[in-house]
Amino acid sequence: MITLRAPAKVTRYLEVTGRREDGLHELRSEMLTVDLVDTLEVDERANYLHVDDPSGVVPHGETNLVAPALRLLGRRAGVIVHKVIPVGGGLGGGSADAAALLRWAGGVSPERALVLGSDVPFCQVGGRALVEGVGERVTPLAFEQRDLTLILAPFGVDTRSCYEAYDEMRREGWSPRGSNHLEEPASRVEPRVAVALTWLRAQWGCAVDVAGSGSTLFVEGHPLGDASTQVLMSPVGPLRTVAVTTTLD
């Protein structure tokens, strides 16, 4: 039995640069891995998949990205996934789990990794990178030690719905602005995102951003101190804050 680390990713900024004929969106973004980590226990002599998930919402079986990742590698193994990264928070939890298996097997090309999802090529590389195209162009950047505070919401945002809202808003004449072009579409899909942002910005008096398509929010530094976890009672319910640091893997 071996243990693999699967770090979460934070999208520090995100620009939508175009839309392909197949409906996929071209992006330009900076992604970072942080020390919020799922772990996978892998037994090469077995063949099973078990997910240890306190939330009870992580998919099992063939709908979990671990299964297609093993198929892509042409391998069978027993895998226990211990979930820490929240689902629907824009932190790439499922992609991180799949990428951990790809790294374990020696890695695959970004184009092959992309079959599993747009975040998987970056999660396979980790660290800090410029990510372009539909996720397949990953250019490593010099590592920068950064402290971040993640604000985990008690709800998720569906990524596909977020991009559909983006397209609808563009047809209505809206133009994206700010460092994350998906902030306003995410708020249309899940209005509590906008409520949480407004409340946190007023409370902290600093820039609070949406991580990717949300629902996780983040801020540079540790405005609440270095305590690893705190709970804020907000207008949208309890927000759990997690102090994290960028990692190389």
d(CA 78, CA 42): 6
d(CA 211, CA 128): 15
Give me the catalytic one of 38, 97, 119, 209. 119
**119 included as an active-site residue:** yes
**83 included as an active-site residue:** no
String of DSSP letters for 102-170: HHHTT---HHHHHTT-TTHHHHHH-SEEEEEETTTEEEE------EEEEEE-SS---HHHHHHHHHHHH
Backbone angles phi, psi at 96, to 5 degrees: -65, -40
Give me the catalytic one of 9, 38, 83, 209. 9
Residues with active-site annotation = 9, 119
